[in-house]
Amino acid sequence: MFKDRMHCLPEAAAGLKAITQERLEWLDKLMEGKTFIAGNRLTLSDIILYVALDFGAGVGQKIDPQLKNVTAWFNRMNERPSATASLHEKAKAAGMRA
């Protein structure tokens, strides 16, 4: 997706994906019993992570289903009317929110 627009380092992909999964495991534990990342209210942290994980899904890096808290949070975010309203047709065609 980016190879013609910027310098890419394919050799870094596996390590960066592993780091992402490790951090999501860490976050999953912290989110136990919470509706949103920072507790019971939506914050900019939720929006930024949602966009990043939605993009990740579109490029083949889905959330590990064993991460129950992060998965439930993502599904709650995905059901928000603003998430549906903001989905651009090109993003939908790329597989985001698949």
- Annotated domain spans of the chain: 35-98
User: At 98, is the pLDDT very low, low, confident or very high (cuts 50, 70, 90)?
Assistant: very low
Q: Is the pLDDT of residue 22 over 90?
A: yes
pTM over 0.75: yes
pLDDT per residue as tens digits for the range 43-93: 999 999 999 999 888 888 899 999 999 999 999 999 999 887 877 777 667
CA distances from 98 to 11, 39, 66, 73 (A): 27, 26, 18, 16
User: At 1, is the pLDDT very low, low, confident or very high (cuts 50, 70, 90)?
Assistant: low
Amino acid letter for position 70: V
Q: Is-contact 97 54, C-beta < 8 A?
A: yes
